């Protein structure tokens, strides 16, 4: 039961990070690819949308790391060793992205200096979710191997330097870009031309994410056969996959109809279902095929207090986040 609760906690936190922090990364991607006669307005909208809330969204990533470290210490050790390089690059990207986002607003050289920091922010926003996807893809392939003492038996590059993890990374950044474009189309509802700019980006990236998902499934049949079987052959995986397709098509249809708030709801559910589907395909392993959640679990005397603390603190966190969003995202009456 404890293993299931820990796995569920990690899955919920990962879903929350994808639909909030993922959109922040996607906003940075569109900052990099801002173009056309409204390029300055596009970047101003992205900055206005991200500025009040982007730091708060990383609380879910912190929660994932803490739960792994406390409840699954052997898995944490293996993942942080075998995937050390992409994890470090991921963290460097998060730090550079956050620092550049602030520095570009307070640089003593408002023109030249701000442009440099804007470029750092945008490139970091592109590369960071790619490495997040690389980490996820490496876990899905089963290339991380563990010995009888639950120690990593692979080197620093063996587990992730393959086509499949990088294809997953490309899919993740495209999916985040789609989610961000939908969010930004809603943010731009007072500026129809700007809203149409992000509508086009949402449609393009949504179609791109759909094509990449097909490529990921095809390559998974060769490099991640266990996960592929879980998605394609087991009933929960099949149902989730059908739901992902339906909600993705629903989001695109709502964009075509210019019903942006409905499109946002469809897109959020689609992204959440993608994460849930991958989690179901991975279960019951935290590191397949050698380490299950049950085998990696810390003693109950450590896990139970952690879960109690989360049960007490999470409602407080959610209330604070809801209040934050209401303060900065509710339109003045």
Q: What is the pLDDT of residue 302?
A: 92
Looking at per-residue confidence, does 165 or 142 come out higher?
165
Binning pLDDT at 50, 70 and 90, where does residue 113 land?
low
State both tokens at 314: 């999470």
Q: Is a pLDDT exceeding 80 seen at residue 55? A: no
CA angle 63, 183, 38 (to 5 degrees): 130
Of residues 88, 93, 168, 92, the one with CA closest to residue 125: 93
CA–CA dist 278, 230 (Å, integer): 9
| CB crowding 124-163: b at 16 or more within 10 Å, else e | bbbbbbbbbbbbbbbbbbbbbbbeeebebebeeeebbebe
Binning pLDDT at 50, 70 and 90, where does residue 39 land?
confident
CA–CA dist 101, 172 (Å, integer): 22
Q: What is the pLDDT of residue 223?
A: 82
Convert the pLDDT of each residue in 207-247 to its tens digit: 999 999 899 988 888 888 877 777 776 777 788 888 989 99
Mean pLDDT in residue range 23-45 = 85
State both tokens at 26: 């996607």
Tell me if 25 sits within 8 A of 96, measured CB to CB.
no
Q: 194-201 contacts: CB < 8 A, separation 24 or more?
A: 194/38, 194/41, 194/42, 194/45, 195/260, 197/36, 197/38, 197/42, 198/30, 198/42, 199/255, 199/258, 199/260, 201/30, 201/177
Q: Is a pLDDT exceeding 70 seen at residue 111? A: no
Residues ≥6 apart with Cβ < 8 Å to 100: 117, 118, 120, 121, 124
State both tokens at 165: 């993890």
> What is the pTM assigned to this prediction?
0.91
Convert the pLDDT of each residue in 242-263 to its tens digit: 898 999 999 999 999 989 999 9
Convert the pLDDT of each residue in 262-273 to its tens digit: 999 999 999 999
CA–CA dist 202, 248 (Å, integer): 11
Mean pLDDT in residue range 18-40 = 85
């Amino acid at each position: 039961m404890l293993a299931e609760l820990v796995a569920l906690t990690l899955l919920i936190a990962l879903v929350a990070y994808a639909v909030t922090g993922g959109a922040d990364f996607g906003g940075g991607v569109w900052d990099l690819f801002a173009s056309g006669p409204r390029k300055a307005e596009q970047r101003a909208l992205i900055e206005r949308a991200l500025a009040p809330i982007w730091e708060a969204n990383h609380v879910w990533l912190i929660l994932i790391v803490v739960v792994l470290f406390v409840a699954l210490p052997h898995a944490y050790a293996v993942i942080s060793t075998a995937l050390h390089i992409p994890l470090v690059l991921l963290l460097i990207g998060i730090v550079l992205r956050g620092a550049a986002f602030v520095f570009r607003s307070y640089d003593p050289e408002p023109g030249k200096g701000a442009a440099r920091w804007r470029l750092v922010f945008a490139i970091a926003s592109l590369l960071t979710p790619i490495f997040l996807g690389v980490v996820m893809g490496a876990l899905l392939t089963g290339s991380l191997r563990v010995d009888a003492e639950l120690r990593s038996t692979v080197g620093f590059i063996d587990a992730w330097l393959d086509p499949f993890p990088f294809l997953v990374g490309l899919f993740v950044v495209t999916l985040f870009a789609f989610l961000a474009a939908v969010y930004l189309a809603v943010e731009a509802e007072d500026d129809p031309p700007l809203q149409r700019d992000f509508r086009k980006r949402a449609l393009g990236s949504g179609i791109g994410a759909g094509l990449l998902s097909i490529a990921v499934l095809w390559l998974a049949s060769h490099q991640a056969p266990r996960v592929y079987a879980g998605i394609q052959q087991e009933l929960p995986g099949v149902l989730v996959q059908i739901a992902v397709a339906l909600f993705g098509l629903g989001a695109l249809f709502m964009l075509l109809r210019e019903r942006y708030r409905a499109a946002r709801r469809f897109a959020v559910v689609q992204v959440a279902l993608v994460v849930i589907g991958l989690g179901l395909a991975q279960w019951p392993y935290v590191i397949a095929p050698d380490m299950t959640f049950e085998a990696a679990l810390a003693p109950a005397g450590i896990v139970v207090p952690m879960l109690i603390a989360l049960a007490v603190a999470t409602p407080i966190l959610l209330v604070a986040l809801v209040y934050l969003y209401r303060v900065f995202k509710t339109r003045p009456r």
